[in-house]
Structure formats: C-alpha cells, structure tokens
Structure 1
C-alpha cells in the first residue's frame, strides 16, 4: 500500500529501509524522500517505522 502519494513510497519500502538501518524519520526522508513534500504521510510512515523497529527487536531478542 502507498504511504506517500507525492513520491510513490510504499509500506514495503519503508520496512525495507528500517531493516537496512533507518531508525528515524530523518533517515527515511533522506533515503526515500518520505514526508518531504506535503507531509501528510509522516504520521503513517512514523508508525510503520516503529512497527518495523519493534519486529527487528523481537527477532534479535529471541
């Protein structure tokens, strides 16, 4: 599903960047351009990023 329509960025792209070390909205903005135009996607992108970080923490802890 598209998160950012200004720059066609999907949930999967965000999750992939988190797996590759993106740990902040600044990282996502630099790597993908998410929330760089109108900013309406920022909240959803932030939520996806945090979910991805939680998944990674669970995988590394177990």
Structure 2
C-alpha cells in the first residue's frame, strides 16, 4: 500500500528500512516520506513503531491471546 503519495513510498519500503534498524528520522531522510504535505507522517510513524526491533514480539502476540491469556487456537500440549 502506498503510504506517502507525494514521494510514492509504500508500507513495505518503510517496514524494510525499520526492520534494518533505521529510525523514523533516518527513513524520512532516506525515502523522503512525510517531507512534503505531511499527511502520511502518522501512518509512517506507526509502521516504524510496529517494525522496530525494540518492539517485543509478545506485545503483538498479546492481541491474539484469549481472556485466559492463552493463544488461540490452543497449542497441542507436550506429552
């Protein structure tokens, strides 16, 4: 999906750079995202935050957990 229409920057490009360890400021400098009209800045920052190496995977997994804290679907128990 195109996030920055002005510079034609996709969510995949932003994600790739964020996973490589680049900060939003670095990505903004490299790709030019959010440097013209600025309407994409919030979305671009959200993508960087989601792909940041400092964001724990457990945080993303917690949304998939049920009320009892177990992942859904239930994992087979080890015998």
Q: TM range, normalised to the smaller chain?
A: 0.7 to 0.9
Unaligned runs of 5+ in 1: none
TM-score w.r.t. the length of structure 1 is: 0.81
CA contact (8 A) 1:9 1:32 kept: yes
Partner of 1:50: 49
Q: Which has the higher contact order (CA 8 A, sep 6+)?
A: 1
Distance 1:19 1:54, change over 3 A: closer
**RMSD of aligned Cα (Å):** 2.1
Query: Whole-Å Cα distance in 2 between the matches of residues 56 and 31 of structure 1?
Result: 22
Distance 1:49 1:33, change over 3 A: same
Instruction: Pick the structure with greater CA Rg.
Output: 2
CA contact (8 A) 2:15 2:48 kept: yes
* Length, aligned pairs only: 58
TM-score w.r.t. the length of structure 2 is: 0.65
SS at match of 1:3: strand
